[in-house]
Amino acid sequence: MSIEKVNPPSKMALFNDYWSPKIVGDLNDAHIKFAKFKGEFVWHKHDNEDELFFVIKGTLLIKLRDKDIYLNEGEFVTIPKGVEHMPVADEEVHVMLIEPRTTLNTGNACSELTKRDLDRI
């Protein structure tokens, strides 16, 4: 097993597609993923998994049914399982996600944005 450090800007430079998380590490039964967001995602929820959004660069809006949460660089929020949410990025945002390996990016809302087989970078 090789233990390597991860440099977020270097990893983010490896891809340009939006809403397509890339696996950059593993933590117990969870994946650590990097993604670039721009525009609106879809309303969705994860029935069995909590999800952590950590903003590396930019500003991210997480819409909930009862309020909006704005995340700036260096801030994060954990969305509990079963809570409907929709990420929105007016400008490109770089995000780290920590979520169980079983987590499908669109949760219960399959769409053209659904990514079943994630690349590892």
Please state whether the predicted TM-score (pTM) of the whole model is above 0.75.
Answer: yes
Euclidean distance between CA atoms 116 and 110, whole angstroms:
10
- As a residue count, the chain comes to 121
CB atoms within 10 A of CB 36: 21
Domains defined along the chain, listed by start: 8-100 (2.60.120.10)
Over its length of 121 residues, how does the chain's per-residue pLDDT go in tens digits? Answer: 788 999 999 999 999 999 999 999 999 999 999 999 999 999 999 899 999 999 999 999 999 999 999 999 999 999 999 999 999 999 999 999 999 888 766 565 666 665 667 778 9
Euclidean distance between CA atoms 75 and 92, whole angstroms:
16
Residues 6+ apart with CB under 8 A from 4: none
